[in-house]
Amino acid sequence: MTENTTIPVLPVLIAKDFASDQEPKWCPGCGDHAVLQQIKNVLPELGIAPENIVFVSGIGCSSRLPYYLATYGVHGIHGRALPMATGLKVSRPDLSVWVGTGDGDALSIGGNHFIHTLRRNPDLNVVLFNNEIYGLTKGQYSPTSKIGLRTVTSPSGVIDQPFNTAALTIGSGGSFFARAFDRDGKFLRSILKRAALHKGTSLVEIYQNCPIFNNGAFEAFATADNKANNTVYLEQSKPLVFAKGKRGIWLDGFQPIVVDLDKEGISSSDLWIHDETDINKASILAHFADDHADSEESLPRPFGVFYAKERITYEDALTAQIDDAQKNGIGTFEELLKGDQSYVIK
Amino acid sequence: MTDTKLTTKQVNVTSKTSVSVLFAGDSGDGMQLTGTQFANTVATHGTELNTFPNFPSEIRAPAGTIAGVSGFQLQFSSKPVYTPGARFDVMVAMNSAALKANLKDLHRGGIIIAGTEGFDEKNLKLAGYPPGVNPLEDGSLSNYILFPVPILQLTREALKESGLSSKEIDRCKNMFVLGLLYWLYTLPLEGTFETLRAKFQKNVHMAEANIRAVKAGYFFGDETELFANLGRFDIAPQKQHGTYRRVTGNEACAIALTAASKKAGLKLFLGSYPITPATEILQTLAKKKKYGVKTFQAEDEIAGIVSSIGAAYGGALAATNTSGPGLALKTEALGLAVILELPLVVINVQRGGPSTGLPTKPEQSDLFMAMYGRHGEAPLPVIAACSPVDCFYCTYEAARIAVEHMTPVICLTDGYLALSSEPWKVESPDNLPDITPHFHAPRQPEDPPYLPYKRDDRQVRAWAIPGTKGLEHRIGGLEKQNETGNVSHDPENHELMTKLRAQKINQIADTLPLQTIDNGPTKGDLLVLGWGSSYGAIKTAVEQAIEKGYSVAHAHLRYIHPFPKNLGEILSNYKKILIPELNNGQLIHIIRDTFLIAPEGFTKIQGVPFNEMEILIKITDIIKELQS
């Protein structure tokens, strides 16, 4: 940066500046509308000009996302949003690249790309709409559907163990995982902003209700009572407390245990203190979801940033190698054509 | 290194125009290295050259067996050569399996240099010779000039004081062979010494031992009585003066992509997944970081092409390379590139199929897949390279068409071109055609709305890349409304868009050079119409047929879709059309379909290239039939 560099003044944009001229075609009541709204709310806060933002998607209801945003957008093929976004980001590190994907797109047909993208860590913001169902193809079970769910392709109930998105992300070497909920707009907005600011692949899993084919899949966390008793909101350096401050999580070795704060003489300072840079704790948090919220002792479902630890991004590592290769000058066209083993015939 | 010029005995040196040599041995014998080094030496000496490595798909097939035989064939000559030779004049056989596997392709009267240690009881058994039979001793090779040489023993003697382990010494035996062949063809040694010193920079002992083995082979030729009657040979260098490099087809593809990116002023991005025999393109480009090249080794073939589409969307010269099974995996994404109308270069190095097929062997059997292998109506340009050096020009042309016409382009090569090499007179950047991307300019709010699918008179849309103010737009795989690009399911619109996309590809023919006749009369009895790597064999066969006085011409197709505009007229100028292909007949279908004519096919599906003799015999048969 030279002294004369002036920072361009961006016009002040608001959410509706990021709305495209296309009317969303999602069903009335679909959680996707709420997610779209929060994305539109967050984008003006980032200070990035719309022409420098690209939304990439695969196939599925959620993958229609780019059409409704007044940024650049490309809607690809089923499961392949992540490699498309990677290719774009690697060749254009200057762009803010977002991915809209769903549980089928990211975890089933695109499962391979999911794990490899996370380990490479390009700077992408991945918004994974998890509705635990295939919506666009009308109600088949997905890789996150709960065991026993009856759908058109599982008339006797699902028998596949569902993917645990958080565990899969952390296990794949992901540098950021957060969970949010379509109904909690304010919280979702804060999480999306965190994801945008994280340099590396940010994976945000959003529990998103499909009112048509899987209505109420997240009801256990939805009503005020359910939310209080069955969810825990993670805050950095704060104890894991839920049920309106009455209960907390105590870590016994590697074993998380639900404790009543008033009954057992345990104060909140004895509780598990959230540390989003601790991968071991993040792994334990990821497995809270294995516990189904059906009893007093059940672990609550965590929401918020489970894990966030920056490490070098793929595109930065590649750029560094290129810079190193060019430290004595960029290869010339003549040099390229001549090669290093040419010979002269006289 | 004056000592290498000392020859103590006066041996006859005979001049020859050209020689085809095969180095064959077990895949652990270092035959590829030997062949490559020999090729480098003859190339820098200034002779014309064509090489063909032929090796098994296993890294180390069982030692001593036919399956494990690795060969490197080359022809070097005082005049232009287009093939490694239909048959070879000299065969180096390091073991009995190498001899058995290749004897059928040795000229009658040809020279065999056999490493006797590879013909012991164990090796003979592994090669499948009956007990007690040794071809070196039973007179069965009396139609050839046989030189049994205890290569291993002589190497051990030469290197006994080298300080190398016995295993390391034994591995130098290929250098002994190399030295012996240098002696036989009166070739200089210095280049090889330089190469060895550079290669073993950190291991001087190893470099010196290898050099000593080369010298030992050379002096053996000189000192032994074995070659007294045969003498030595000299193939006079004839190449025009200038600066040359030797390239394989795969290297040429990689250089071309980089060159195209330089010419177009674009960044090069290659998304790729390793696959035989296409991997060297990725490997070569991974080493081109100095030129700003970005390579991405993806998790699979699909991510390879899709990452490239992402890069193309961002304004890069994007490419992917693969071979048949990989192209099959990429077909859905190719359809996406077609409907997005983004530039993309797809290099498909064909190999024997279907399925895993013959991974290391060439075939021309992906033409149908390149032409039609997508769902929906998804036409795209298909072009084919005809020689290792042409892989450069063809790939460069693919990039030019892709960028200037906003379309994916498939460039077909094959395992033969990919691994074969030729000398290439170093090209000047100024001689390469311009590549002009048509980026859409930024737009002000008061300007008319931006229309992503508005076309020019060639039906080409402009490239609107992220970062360009005022062009924010959304496109995807869904059918789009004409001009606006908005999602549309309108019936008439889909038909219109399908036809516009096809018309765009067809109109490329307006800008392509017309088809030429490579050799022979512009009207006559027979036209041999080829494509791809069979160029050399067809060219040589047609040359010989013309020498015999036949009315035969050769045309070789580079542009397969769309065809050059004058192709139909050319085809009408001959009584008969012959189409040789390394497949079960694919181009012939397309020609029949397009021009409603009845050409004659000539196919070979053996995982090896045509040789000129096969084609010459076919030409002769047809000419005789026409004359009767």
Q: Name residues whose C-beta falls within 8 Å of residue B292's C-beta, 6 or more positions apart in sequence.
A: A322, A326, A330, B261, B267, B268
Rounded to an integer, what distance in angstroms lies between the CA atom of residue A178 and that of residue B485? 35
Best mutation site among B190, B251, B313 for testing chain A: the one with the most A CBs within 10 Å? B313
The predicted-structure confidence for B308-353, as pLDDT tens digits, reads as follows 999 999 999 999 999 999 999 999 999 999 999 999 999 999 999 9
For residues B302 and B225, state if they share a domain.
no
State yes or no: pLDDT of B2 exceeds 50.
Answer: no
- Looking at residue A219, the DSSP 8-state letter turns out to be G
B303 and A325 within 8 Å at the Cβ level: the answer is: no
Rounded to an integer, what distance in angstroms lies between the CA atom of residue B382 and that of residue B272? 20
Best mutation site among B474, B484, B486, B488 for testing chain A: the one with the most A CBs within 10 Å? B474
Q: Does A119 touch chain B (CB under 8 A)?
A: no
ipTM: 0.96
Which residue range is the domain that position A81 belongs to?
Answer: 15-217
In a domain, B573, yes or no: yes
Whole-number percent of chain A with pLDDT over 70: 96
- Of B373, B394, B364, B357, residue with least CA distance to B588: B364
In a domain, B241, yes or no: no
In a domain, A206, yes or no: yes
Q: Which of A3-7, B33-37, B283-287 has the lowest mean pLDDT?
A: A3-7
State yes or no: pLDDT of A180 exceeds 80.
Answer: yes
For residues B257 and B231, state if they share a domain.
no
pLDDT at position A293, please? 55
State yes or no: pLDDT of B4 exceeds 60.
Answer: no
B291 and A331 within 8 Å at the Cβ level: the answer is: yes
In a domain, B187, yes or no: yes
Q: Which of B431, B466, B487 is the last residue of a domain?
A: B431
A77 and B336 within 8 Å at the Cβ level: the answer is: yes
Give contacts of A66 with chain B, Cβ < 8 Å.
474, 476
A337 and B255 within 8 Å at the Cβ level: the answer is: yes
DSSP letters along B327-357, please? HHHHHHHHHHHHHHT--EEEEEEE-B-STT-
In a domain, A252, yes or no: no
Q: Quick one: pLDDT band at residue A7, thresholds 50, 70, 90?
A: low
Q: Which of A92-101, B2-11, B398-407 has the lowest mean pLDDT?
A: B2-11
In a domain, B43, yes or no: yes
B243 and A344 within 8 Å at the Cβ level: the answer is: yes
- Rounded to 10 deg, the angle between the A31-42 and A185-197 helix axes is 50
Q: Which of B235, B261, B278 is the last residue of a domain?
A: B235
CATH of the domain at B397: 3.40.50.970
Considering its fold, how many domains does chain A have in total?
A: 1
CATH of the domain at A189: 3.40.50.970
Residue B544 backbone phi and psi in degrees, to 5? -70, -35
A91 and B486 within 8 Å at the Cβ level: the answer is: no
In a domain, A44, yes or no: yes
Average confidence score pLDDT of chain B: 95
Are A75 and A118 spatial neighbours (Cβ–Cβ below 8 Å)? no
DSSP letters along B96-114, please? HHHHHHHGGGEEEEEEEEE
Q: Does A100 touch chain B (CB under 8 A)?
A: no
Which residue range is the domain that position B548 belongs to?
Answer: 524-627
In a domain, B114, yes or no: yes
For residues B61 and B208, state if they share a domain.
yes
Give contacts of A91 with chain B, Cβ < 8 Å.
267, 269, 294, 310-311, 314-316, 318
Q: Does B427 touch chain A (CB under 8 A)?
A: yes
For residues B252 and B223, state if they share a domain.
no
Residue for token digits 């596997």?
B101
Q: Tell me the mean pLDDT in the region A180-202.
A: 97
State yes or no: pLDDT of B376 exceeds 80.
Answer: yes
What is the number of other CB atoms lying within 10 angstroms of the CB of residue B73?
24
- Of A32, A7, B445, residue with least CA distance to A40: A32
Q: Tell me the mean pLDDT in the region B69-86.
A: 92
In a domain, A344, yes or no: no
Give contacts of A55 with chain B, Cβ < 8 Å.
474
Rounded to an integer, what distance in angstroms lies between the CA atom of residue B403 and that of residue A300? 54
pLDDT at position A268, please? 80
Considering its fold, how many domains does chain B have in total?
A: 4
Q: Quick one: pLDDT band at residue A1, thresholds 50, 70, 90?
A: very low
The predicted-structure confidence for B439-484, as pLDDT tens digits, reads as follows 999 999 999 999 999 999 999 999 999 999 999 999 999 999 999 9
Q: Quick one: pLDDT band at residue A10, thresholds 50, 70, 90?
A: low
Q: Tell me the mean pLDDT in the region A307-313.
A: 98
CATH of the domain at B135: 3.40.920.10
The predicted-structure confidence for B100-121, as pLDDT tens digits, reads as follows 999 999 999 999 999 999 999 9
Q: Quick one: pLDDT band at residue A245, thresholds 50, 70, 90?
A: very high
CATH of the domain at B567: 3.40.50.920
- Of B273, B310, B335, B304, residue with least CA distance to B501: B335
Q: Which secondary structure element, helix H or strand E, spans residue A72, and what is its range?
A: strand A72-75
Are A122 and A86 spatial neighbours (Cβ–Cβ below 8 Å)? yes
Rounded to an integer, what distance in angstroms lies between the CA atom of residue B551 and that of residue B555? 14
pLDDT at position B8, please? 52
- Of B97, B73, B225, B220, residue with least CA distance to B150: B220
For residues B603 and B533, state if they share a domain.
yes
Chain A nearest-CA distance from B265, in A, is: 11
For B243, which residue in chain A has the nearest alpha carbon? A344
Q: Which of B416, B431, B446 is the last residue of a domain?
A: B431
Residues 550 to 609 of B: which have CB under 8 A from any A CB? none
A83 and B476 within 8 Å at the Cβ level: the answer is: no
Q: Quick one: pLDDT band at residue A292, thresholds 50, 70, 90?
A: low
pLDDT at position B278, please? 98
In a domain, A177, yes or no: yes
For residues B417 and B446, state if they share a domain.
no
Please tell me whether the peptide bond between B62 and the residue prior to it is cis, using omega within 30 degrees of 0.
no
- Looking at residue A106, the DSSP 8-state letter turns out to be I
HEC states along B393-429? HHHHHHHHHHHHHCCEEEEEEEHHHHHCEEEEECCCH
Residue B487 backbone phi and psi in degrees, to 5? -55, 130
Give contacts of B243 with chain A, Cβ < 8 Å.
338, 342-345
For residues B169 and B272, state if they share a domain.
no
pLDDT at position A9, please? 61
**CA angle A205-A210-A213, nearest 5°?**
130
pLDDT at position B528, please? 98
Best mutation site among B299, B375, B479 for testing chain A: the one with the most A CBs within 10 Å? B299
> Which 3 state secondary structure label does DSSP give B596?
coil
pTM for the whole structure: 0.94
Are B74 and B20 spatial neighbours (Cβ–Cβ below 8 Å)? yes
For residues B36 and B163, state if they share a domain.
yes
For residues B204 and B258, state if they share a domain.
no
Q: Which residue has the higher pLDDT, B285 or A344?
A: B285
For residues B497 and B534, state if they share a domain.
no
Are B433 and B262 spatial neighbours (Cβ–Cβ below 8 Å)? no
State yes or no: pLDDT of B56 exceeds 80.
Answer: no
Q: Does A72 touch chain B (CB under 8 A)?
A: yes
In a domain, A293, yes or no: no
Chain B nearest-CA distance from A318, in A, is: 8
Q: Tell me the mean pLDDT in the region B261-281.
A: 98
The predicted-structure confidence for B170-202, as pLDDT tens digits, reads as follows 999 999 999 999 999 999 999 999 999 999 999
pLDDT at position A263, please? 79
A83 and B298 within 8 Å at the Cβ level: the answer is: yes
The predicted-structure confidence for B378-413, as pLDDT tens digits, reads as follows 999 999 999 999 999 999 999 999 999 999 999 999
Q: Quick one: pLDDT band at residue A291, thresholds 50, 70, 90?
A: confident
For residues B204 and B289, state if they share a domain.
no
pLDDT at position B492, please? 98
pLDDT at position B225, please? 87
